[in-house]
Structure 1
């Protein structure tokens, strides 16, 4: 059910330059008026986000791409027709009148139309559907993205940075949107900057070109730093075949381990079992990491998902979550037990 009074209140808050968190089908976003540099700066301040790290601008269904993008290649319109509203972000050349704040100072811009009904209602109410809402994930920079309103409150209530949090239940997809760069088609073709629910093969089926892997000259994009999506507790991934041995060794060393898994594995200090299918695993992943982060464990050990294409988005998020914890298992096994 859509509470139109709350939607109107949130739209007015955005129009006044305030911050509003809202649900999308991927994760919850921390929204501000994309054409108000001071409001966008408030996003960066609230998150502790580097100023050169761009945000994604969310648009209402049917919004004019020409207002935001200087060039709209045929491939962009084809992908919008195929996947919007939905979890696909396109990187295009930024229109001259759009503030550079949303792009981290680059000449490109990330655009998407979310599929969540509350997000659509908010975008339609905000500036009568003609505005854009800049919205990275509604969490402190680098931390696990929120997939419920409660996660957003956990992140920001102590700061008082948000005017409102719209509650739309748990995010359906659970990981951030696929990002495809279409700003350099003539020289590089389409480039997949961040994998997600919409696969490279699905994109290729629409535009007849398979997106390439990121290159050194690719535009900076949301959620593409090596260390990202990380809980406070160190994260390590191991294949199923070695997990039982590692769990036994850590138990013997007196270490408390929180386990995120999908196979039958021994009991640990804390554990959450996720579906063994990529969609279900992605939907529950961030909530599981947040839950295990609060368990008092010394380590969150994740059963590495399969390396199949359907798991690419999940593996990308887990690799970044574990990036800053290299050697953590070895370190816990080679120190004196507490």
Structure 2
């Protein structure tokens, strides 16, 4: 089911209903500031299990944690280096995945199968997700939408593949195929693991 929300002022009433469904184990597909993503409540065992099955991936496959802001993200990671913190503060929200050392508060429902203690955190620049994260009590667990080994950026194609498998698909139109830039912040410095969207801002700093 495709859901239409106002792109600049998403209806909080509808997002409140989505939040409730996520808490009950639902899974939705949202447009992000990069590609479409499957999202579940990070504390919902049923939702995360469904997410893995929909994506047909191993539970050892890393997922991302979507947070509303740095303050929320800091609840789940070890202290960053000064350099990494300053960079995160300057470029978020935005199309970046920060690989950080997780602390003991990491949602084990979502990340108990990971072999290491690192996690990818995103603070997406998406009005839909930002508004949802303001309402929802927990961060969201997310993974990009793709099938047949290809990312899907057309909402109609997503509807054909996932329409009867998820609780709803937020229509963000046809997105450009741009992946997030991945930054490794687990050490004293910062290293770029993947160049993607937003590199022009990083290069300008």
- Coarse TM-score class (shorter-chain normalised): 0.7 to 0.9
Gaps of 5+ in 1: 207-338
Task: For residues 93-130 of structure 1, give each alpha carbon's deviation from its aligned partner in whole angstroms, at most 9, with x where no partner exists.
Answer: 11212134337512011111111211211111211xxx
1:61 deviates by 3.3
SS of the counterpart of 1:118?
helix
Partner of 2:167: 163
Deviations 1:132-177 (A, max 9, x none): 111111233x6222223223212213xx331111112233x53221
The residue number in structure 2 matching 1:191 is: 191
Within-5 A mapping of 1:1-338: 1=6, 2-61=10-69, 63-100=71-108, 101-102=110-111, 104-105=113-114, 106-127=116-137, 131-140=138-147, 143-157=149-163, 160-171=164-175, 173-185=176-188, 189-199=189-199, 202-203=201-202, 206=205
Q: CA RMSD in A?
A: 2.2
Match of 1:329 in 2: none
Instruction: Work out which of the two has the higher radius of gyration on C-alpha atoms and give 1 or 2.
Output: 1
More contact order relative to length (CA 8 Å, sep ≥ 6): 2
2:146 alignment partner, SS class: coil
Structure showing the higher helix proportion among its residues:
1
The separation in 2 between residues aligned to 1:154 and 1:21, in whole angstroms, is 13
TM-score (norm 1): 0.53
Q: Is the 8 A contact 1:76 1:90 kept in 2?
A: no
Number of residue-to-residue matches in the alignment: 195
1:184 & 1:62 partners in 2: Cα distance? Answer: 18
Contact 1:59-1:123 at 8 Å conserved across structures: yes
Calculate the TM-score normalised by the size of structure 2: 0.84
CA displacement at 1:205 relative to structure 2: 5.3
Q: Distance in 2 between matches of 1:61 and 1:121?
A: 12
